Amino acid sequence: MARILIAEDDPGVRLLVKRALGLEGHEVVAVEDGELALEMLAAQKGAFDFVLSDIRMPAMTGIELAHEIAAIWPELPILLMTGYAEQKENADDLTAIIEGVVEKPFSIAELRSEVGRILAERAAGRAASEPDEILPVVARRCA
């Protein structure tokens, strides 16, 4: 399973999302804002598989966090969440560095599905880019 970092300023949403993804078997670390998320990423040397961030937070917004993450850890997938339509529109400019935006309120099933889809796509992309080590061994045995 994945190691997921959540940045969400609302304690109720943060707890709900942490529990929902934790019950899926993911290791979940949750912080209150973008600055703390960036500090956590730096302390862990980017050792997360996925970042889920609210857009509207004090100190550092999810959009600012996404830009920082993309500059330092460009392969780290980022999914944003928001309950404000105008913020979703602001995030549309980030399509090159984020995986998408989940609109609040969302169901647990919707969130799990979206996170699962992104992680599966990333895993498939990594598997496709890794060299196939079995073929040379099989070819040598058949020769």
The CATH number of whichever domain residue 57 belongs to comes to 3.40.50.2300
What is the pTM assigned to this prediction?
A: 0.85
Q: What is the pLDDT of residues 7-52, one digit of tens each?
A: 999 999 999 999 999 999 999 999 999 999 999 999 999 999 999 9
- The structure tokens listed for 10 are 């609302």
Report the number of distinct structural domains present in the chain: 1
52 lies in which domain range? Answer: 3-142
Q: What is the pLDDT of residues 85-101, one digit of tens each?
A: 666 566 666 888 999 88
Note whether 107 and 17 are within 8 A (CB): no
